[in-house]
Amino acid sequence: MHLPPTGSRPRVLHVTQPVDGGVARVVTDLTRAQLTAGFGVSVACPDGHLADRLRSLGADVRHWQATRSPGPALLSEVRGLARVTGDVRPDLVHAHSAKAGLAARLAVRGRVPTVFQPHAWSFEAVGGAAALLALRWERWGARWAARTVCVSEAERGRGVRAGIRGRWAVIPNGIDTRRFHAGTPEDPDAVDDLDALPASDDLDEAGGVRPRHGIGPHAPLVVCVGRLCRQKGQDVLLDAWRRVLARVPDARLVLVGDGPDRAALTARASAYGLLDGARASVVLAGGADDVAAWYRAADLVVLPSRWEGMALAPLEAMACGRPVVVTDVDGAREGLPPALEPHCLVPPEDPAALAGAVAALLLDAPLRASLGRRGRAHVRSAHDVRHTAEAVAAVYGALLDGVRTPGARTGGGAPCPTHGGPPGPPRPLPGDRPAPAGRSAVVPIEYRESTHP
């Protein structure tokens, strides 16, 4: 087994493509936490905003020319990544999302402990022959992942049901609660009293995102943050929006983000008459460096995804004290406190149900405030990125040091025995520590299964 030099911190090579959206935020947060912990951190990714951001944090960024999806250039991309790996000589490789997971596992082939984090399964994103090919690869490639890290139990379960036999760990997504908060940027702890959360217009000061986009301070505002693509379901939200306007005529909808479906979504909104002059009720705001400002300006945040692992946007919105409406896809229930499910969870690709939930919450300010408070408390307790980073470090430690993780389980859910005897008490992992008072530590739940059919 490839081990780090004695007495040194491990060197981790993160491999990522795509370089935007939630995956980029996860890589950024992990890089920041691991650098702070003293790890050597290298990142292989294409040039762009993510690479610049990671360099500013102090990471060793290696240029890796790669497209977002597999194509004719895959062989050269794998060779390029193999050269990067040989140059960096990492103790562990952590590949993020389907494309990087494909290239990294082909380049490394188990010679270095490899963690694969799908961030939603590739075979859900395509159909027909492409889906079958993606699934066959995931089944085969699992043998070259020392751990497959899923962000929700639902994501792991989907992989198991699809016939992917691997060694699993479940670590829920976390967000930076110091950045995403319900207070003002100057005083993020000013509203630790959950009964005193300010209204959206109280936080959208002069020059804020509402006035910059012609939205009045008291207009009911729904915000959707996400890449403009089929996965995120903004087309379903536009289909639902006319029903929302029938009940809340002065409501406004802002789509924050960019992506391949921008032109199609603009055309759809225009065909529905949602962009017409003074009657315009929809704004396509483009990408934003500070999405937290949009969350705090919103009355309600919506993410109508067709599939996910566990989306970051609802967690970020709840951390800002805003209620959410999300579709019941993988990770959605696990990201919500149970009290929010009856009001905030709708079936995917169901415009009528989506419109009903959105309109009901826009018309009930006290309920929105209550849900916002509960959501904020839940995220601060269960989805703090600092605890997520510690859980990832625990997985690294288990792989590099051979320490059994707490809660290790077989595929059937029974405790994993050691040396053929009865299961003993779990031993602590590197990075484990008691959670601060009032918070829940995130502990990786591991499942051990054969990597081969």
CATH number for position 66? 3.40.50.2000
**Is 184 domain-assigned?**
no
Same domain, 313 and 396: no
**Is 1 domain-assigned?**
no
**Is 87 domain-assigned?**
yes
Same domain, 167 and 202: no
Half-sphere exposure (Cβ direction) of 76: Cα atoms closer than 13 Å: 7
Same domain, 392 and 353: no
- If one counts the domains in the chain, the total is 2
User: With 80 as the cut, is the pLDDT of residue 1 above it?
Assistant: no
pTM for the whole structure: 0.82
Distance CA 59, CA 33 (A): 11
Residue type, 338: P
- Residue 58: CB atoms within 10 Å: 12
Same domain, 347 and 218: yes
Last residue of a domain, one of 337, 357, 382: 382
Same domain, 352 and 211: yes
**Is 187 domain-assigned?**
no
DSSP annotation string for 88-134: H--SEEEEEHHHHHHHHHHHHTTSS-EEEE-SS-GGGS--HHHHHHH
Per-residue pLDDT, 443: 62
User: With 50 as the cut, is the pLDDT of residue 303 above it?
Assistant: yes
User: With 50 as the cut, is the pLDDT of residue 426 above it?
Assistant: no
Query: Mind listing the pLDDT tens digit for each residue in 13-58?
Result: 999 987 788 899 999 999 999 999 999 999 999 999 999 999 999 9
Pairing verdict, β 168-170 and 445-448: antiparallel
Last residue of a domain, one of 329, 360, 382: 382
**Is 91 domain-assigned?**
yes
Q: What is the largest CA-CA distance in the chain?
A: 73
User: With 90 as the cut, is the pLDDT of residue 453 above it?
Assistant: no
The closest alpha carbon to 1, from 267, 398, 286, belongs to 398
Arithmetic mean of pLDDT, 216-237: 96
Same domain, 56 and 120: yes
Phi/psi at 372 (5° precision) = -60, -40
184 falls in which pLDDT band (50, 70, 90)? low
User: With 60 as the cut, is the pLDDT of residue 437 above it?
Assistant: no
Identify which has the larger pLDDT, 308 or 126: 308
Same domain, 326 and 297: yes
Arithmetic mean of pLDDT, 248-262: 96
User: With 90 as the cut, is the pLDDT of residue 86 above it?
Assistant: yes
Last residue of a domain, one of 347, 382, 417: 382
Query: Mind listing the pLDDT tens digit for each residue in 54-84?
Result: 999 999 999 999 887 776 788 999 999 999 9
DSSP state of 10: P
Same domain, 309 and 337: yes
**Is 287 domain-assigned?**
yes
Cα distances (Å, whole numbers) of residue 63 to 42, 50, 105, 380? 11, 11, 18, 35
**Is 320 domain-assigned?**
yes
Same domain, 305 and 361: yes
Same domain, 375 and 406: no
**Is 155 domain-assigned?**
yes
User: With 50 as the cut, is the pLDDT of residue 357 above it?
Assistant: yes
3-state secondary structure 379-443: HHHHCEHHHHHHHHHHHHHHHHHCCCCCCCEECCCCECCCCCCCCCCCCCCCCCCCCCCCCCCCC
439 is in which domain, residue-wise?
A: 11-174+385-448
User: With 80 as the cut, is the pLDDT of residue 266 above it?
Assistant: yes
Same domain, 252 and 202: yes
Same domain, 25 and 47: yes
Per-residue pLDDT, 154: 93
Per-residue pLDDT, 127: 78
DSSP state of 9: P
Query: Mind listing the pLDDT tens digit for each residue in 377-425?
Result: 999 999 999 999 999 999 999 999 853 333 333 333 333 332 333 333 3
Query: Mind listing the pLDDT tens digit for each residue in 111-165?
Result: 999 999 999 898 887 878 888 998 999 999 999 999 999 999 999 999 999 999 9
Q: Can you give the length of the chain in residues?
A: 453
